Amino acid sequence: MKIGCHLSSSGGYLAMGQTAESIGANVFQFFTRNPRGGAAKPIDIRDVDAFLKFAEEKGIGPILAHAPYTLNAAGAEKRVTDFALEVMIDDLKRLEYTPGALYNFHPGSHVGQGAEKGIELIANHLIKVLEATGPIKTTILLETMAGKGSEVGRNFGEIKSIIDKVEQSLITHHSSLIASTRLGVCLDTCHVWDGGYDIVNDLDGVLDEFDQVIGLDRLKAIHLNDSMNVLAAHKDRHEKIGKGKLTLEGIARIINHPKLKDLPFYLETPCDLQGYKEEIALLKGLRK
């Protein structure tokens, strides 16, 4: 089972790998920089090399880098969208040091411009990012959102529209980038539940819908969180595993579902390291 959690990146890559191992994790997520934005620390090649060796020995990966959640590719102000571009290009260049990483981002919030405009802005943003980076070894993931405020990506259709627009544009204008561009989806269990997808009582139905709308081959990672709120609450408040509305039984079905069980699961529950260690042990115990 590929299971881990969000870790602090303040000690570097090797420290994250070692922390992961110490809590029984074999995958982990981290912020590429302070989640509120700001400059990322320069890449320390010795640290990265030591981590890659450690990860290989211990079977750790894939690692999931999370873009700052303040980044808004669908913003209405140039200052906001320029910042989103700058950060994402820089993050993807840095991730070339850890080939095969996943890079997850929140598609954005349309801030009153409408979902359609938001989708267009996010697609154009991704095209500009890919033009700037050139071929990359990282898979870019769009995260499913709870639909809080004016979030884009509140349903599978919005995510699919963004992916389609990017790929169509690449086919037409940048055919050299098609082979190296991997766009996928990170499904956040709290977010989809809050977004109105009943993964507790109808997991099969939701996964069928995902497959029909986006395609399950696009699903590359799961953010495994319980939710404090009821179905379709559009709130996005993560809860500890088994303590929220998804229930322990619901979460057990998710981690054991034949269409999900081989994916990497990343916990983003309100836990400290000891709490994550206990949740990981709990989930391994629920695994059939």
Contact between 217 and 259 under an 8 Å Cβ cutoff? The reply is no
> Does 188 sit near Fe ion (CB under 5 A)?
yes
The mark string for 128-167 relative to Fe ion (x by CB under 5 A, - otherwise) is: ---------------x------------------------
Give the one entry of Zn ion, Fe ion, none that residue 223 binds, where binding means its C-beta sits below a cut-off of 5 to 8 angstroms depending on kind: Fe ion
27, 63, 103, 284 from 2: Cα distances, Å: 6, 11, 17, 10
Q: Residue 151 CB, nearest distance to Zn ion (Å)?
A: 10
Nearer to Zn ion, 98 or 227 (CB): 227
Residues 215-254 that bind Fe ion (CB under 5 A): 223
Residue with tokens 């139905």: 205
The smaller minimum CB distance to Fe ion, of residues 47 and 143, is found at 143
CA-based R_g, the chain, Å: 18
Binding span for Fe ion by CB under 5 A among 93-101, 128-136, 150-158, 180-188? 180-188
Q: Closest by alpha carbon to 159, among 213, 223, 222? A: 213
Interacting positions 230-249 with Zn ion (CB under 5 A): 236
Selection from Zn ion, Fe ion, none that 236 binds (CB < 5 to 8 A by kind) is Zn ion
Nearer to Fe ion, 122 or 177 (CB): 122
Size of the site for Zn ion (CB under 5 A): 1
Assess 91 for contact with Zn ion (CB under 5 A): no
d(CA 114, CA 26): 40
Quote the DSSP letter at residue 217: G
Count CB atoms within 10 A of the CB of residue 120.
17
Q: Which residues contact 146 (CB under 8 A, 6 or more apart)?
A: 154, 188, 190, 191, 192, 194, 195, 233, 234, 235, 236
Residues in contact with Zn ion by the rule CB under 5 A = 236
Residues in contact with Fe ion by the rule CB under 5 A = 143, 188, 223
